[in-house]
A and B are shown apart, each in its own frame.
Chain A
Amino acid sequence: MKTILYTTRGGQTSYLNQDAVIKLAREEKAKLIFLYVSNVQFLEKCGYVSHTRVVEEELEDLGEFLLAMACERAEKAGWKAEAIVRQGGFMEAVNEVIREQQVDTFVIGAPGSTHAVTTTEFLQNLIQEIKDINHIEVLVIQDGHLIDL
């Protein structure tokens, strides 16, 4: 059975992409894994290291909740999904999960028109790195459609 890994932030703007990945997994009868990676580096950048631990715990709870919502969307669409929450660097977390879960296809959302958190350039580099390290298929999704970056 093929395994699809999709990383999501879980906000409202990612619902379209989540639905598209669920549809893709159902069509390919693939195992679907949602991944949420939290990173408290923003606190360190601001110099607020004193709260790092408690924020890490809160973000873990937040990630579990966001992925529970994503899994529920999958269930409503007639497909089952699993959820994994990781902390730390995005790249390290993705590579780790790809290895652990023997992922065949990695799906990542491209920056949307208004609520972009990442940039296209960042994404292109990231995709190339994942391909180079893991030798797997990487798909990019934007506003619910697979696109070429």
Chain B
Amino acid sequence: MKYLHPRKTFTLALFFIGLLSALWFLIPRPTFASEAESGYLITGRLFDPQGQPIVAAEISAYLPGEEEAIAEAESQEDGSWGLVLNYVPEEISVHVQRSHFVDQVIELDTVNLADLKETRVLRIEELSLDRKVTAGFWIATAIFVIVLLLIAFEILHSTTAALLGASAVLLISALGTAFVPSMYIFNFERALTYINWEVIFLVMAMMIVVAVIEETGIFQWTAFQAYRLSGGRSWVLVLILMAFTAVASALLDNFTTMLLMTPISLQIGLALGINPLALIIPEVLASNVGGISTLIGTPTNILIGASAGIGFNDFLINQTIGVVVALIAMGAYVIWHYRKEWAKVSGGISETLYEKLKENGRIRDPEALKKSGIVFGLTLLGFVLGERIHVVPAVPAIIGATVLLIWLKPDIHQMIKAVDWTTLVFFMTLFMVVGAVQEVGLMALAATGISKIVGENLGLAIFVIVIGVGSLSTVIANIPLAASMLPVVDFLSGSIPGASSKVLYYALSMGAAMGGNGFLIGGEANLVTAGITAQAGSPISFKEFFKIGLPITYITLFIGYLWLMIRFGAF
């Protein structure tokens, strides 16, 4: 039996995924109007108490005394619905049902029906359904809290915790409902709608791109060049390394950047005779902040961008200056904090060690670097230009990854291994768990609570999100935190005057990423860096990290807050 080569299979799979996505967007969908051409249309829109559209509500039309509906429909993404009748009866009642909401019945009077008969279309005013707290509400809330605790206290791996949460929600909805109907949360089909596939594909494609670039040696080469440029002055070196790490994190991701920068930085630090952690900890701090300025710089930005429709250019324009100012302040603090290290004078490095350092800091694959540089540049261009023609960032990313696979012909098994499926499964199942609490109305409740605190004060809302999320992010993993906060920010953006500029999403982005600098456990990049330094006899202690990380967290959070206030004129 002949099998396709794995590379071809993978490339073909990516091609078909792209094709199907394109078809999905291109194929025209039926509209209520087209359905109603041969009948009579009753249409309307449904909203929750926070003004958000209600999706998947069942709308049925009944004749008086009848148990069987004469027409049925389901509300769409924008909350709109349309009932198509074959004829106009004398009396009719429209029933609106949706789990986790109070049922509503609309009796249509003769005037309405006469109007319908004459114009063939009857528009009912916008309906607001009240929330209903069911057993499902408490179950989904408990599962959500348990998942967060399991992740925060590292009782289970984050992916396992999220998978457990999603399974529990689905199991209870499927089986528990048979005994207690109010335990229902949502079904599998509904759970799938909460998965943001744009995030999944963008993350996956960027993982492939990064996997190719990381093998070229560009990180190590740059670190070595920084060492050369600094002329042995450690404080200059740390600033160059911080700047590079921030830029690399913005364009690739901070996790990979630190994975590759840490070993070479350790060598440079030891060669200079200083504590290598004086170079490495500032690099981690810079990497966590640097990523904020682009859509692809942090997983939370990818999440926020895809959910709120914030593009690559938007992040760049609205965040970069704030990030640069925060990095400058961070650099100044780092220079002061490690002042004793910079005072240490090294006797210089021997020729043997210099040659070894040079060897370790070489470009490993110049050809791959050239090709991947071209493709990555074009992918970035795709991000920038794609927005103008409504192409989501996942599309140029998938195309870029595919081109790299075809052009560079890397070992496809290695490339598939380079895709961190654990993270992708984590994203998917986390979306379901957060979707469950959205479905039952917990997020709407939280949003209403925050809304009561901040009122209509945009400045206060920005402050609460930047500092509040930043503080939480010091101890809670920023991805679940950002995913949980998104529906809240969504509501606040719609209810606070001036927040439609999406400023609160940027506040969320800044808070979630900058907060990761507070403690060693605050971010993945922190932990992986600590893992590598421990391998070289320079472990990062919890105390050592937070002594510099915590002050920097609040300095940068405050700068981020001020920047957003200035940028969006919220003073």
Contacts and interface: CB of A to CB of B under 8 A. Distances in A.
Interface of A: 8-14, 38-39, 42-43, 46-55, 58-59, 61-62, 64-66, 68-69, 72, 115, 117
Interface string B411-442: 00010011111100000000000000000000
A65 B537 CA distance: 13
Contacts of B259: 51, 54-55, 58
What are the nearest 6 A-B pairs in CB distance? A11-B537, A9-B537, A42-B531, A58-B263, A50-B420, A62-B263
Contacts of A9: 535-537
Contact of B535 (A14, A46, A62): A62
A72 B420 CA distance: 40
B531 A46 contact: yes
A59 B532 contact: yes
Given A11-B276, A43-B528, A69-B271, 6 more contacts: A12-B537, A42-B535, A46-B524, A51-B259, A58-B263, A66-B536
10 contacts: A13-B538, A46-B531, A48-B524, A50-B419, A51-B256, A51-B259, A58-B264, A61-B264, A65-B267, A115-B539
Interface of B: 157-159, 207, 211, 214-215, 220, 255-256, 259-260, 263-264, 266-267, 270-271, 275-276, 350, 352-353, 356-357, 359-360, 414, 417-422, 524, 527-528, 531-532, 534-539
Contact of A65 (B357, B417, B527): B357
**Is the contact region of chain A dominated by helix, strand, or loop, or is it mixed?**
helix
B260 to A, nearest CB: 7
Nearest to B353: A68
A53 B211 CA distance: 11
A20 B231 CA distance: 32
Nearest to B256: A51
Given A62-B267, A65-B267, A68-B352, A49 B417 contact: yes
Given A58-B263, A65-B360, A117 B534 contact: yes
A117 B207 CA distance: 32
A18 to B, nearest CB: 10
A39 B357 CA distance: 21
Instruction: Among A51, A53, A115, find the residue whose CB has the most chain B CB atoms closer than 10 A.
Output: A51
Contacts of B214: 51, 54
Contacts of A65: 267, 270, 353, 356-357, 360
Given A51-B259, A62-B267, A46 B528 contact: yes
Given A47-B157, A62-B267, A72 B352 contact: yes
Contacts of B535: 9, 38-39, 42, 59, 62
A13 B211 CA distance: 34
Contacts of B352: 68, 72
Contacts of B350: 72
Instruction: Among B276, B527, B537, find the residue whose CB has the most chain A CB atoms closer than 10 A.
Output: B537
Contacts of A117: 534, 537, 539
A103 to B, nearest CB: 21
Nearest to A17: B537
A48 to B, nearest CB: 7
Contact of B534 (A12, A14, A42, A50): A42
Nearest to B417: A50
A10 B207 contact: no
Contacts of B267: 61-62, 65-66
B266 A48 contact: no
B528 A48 contact: yes
B263 A50 contact: no
A50 B536 contact: no
A75 B562 CA distance: 56
A72 B421 CA distance: 43
Contact of B356 (A11, A55, A68): A68
Given A46-B531, A50-B420, A13 B537 contact: yes
A54 B210 CA distance: 12
B537 A69 contact: no
B418 A115 contact: no
B356 A50 contact: no
A8 B537 contact: yes
Contact of A62 (B158, B266, B418, B419): B266
Contacts of A39: 535
A58 B258 CA distance: 12
Given A43-B528, A46-B531, A69-B353, A53 B414 contact: yes
A34 B267 CA distance: 17
Contacts of A64: 356, 360
B157 A50 contact: no
A14 B260 CA distance: 24
Instruction: Among A8, A43, A65, find the residue whose CB has the most chain B CB atoms closer than 10 A.
Output: A65
Contacts of A69: 270-271, 353
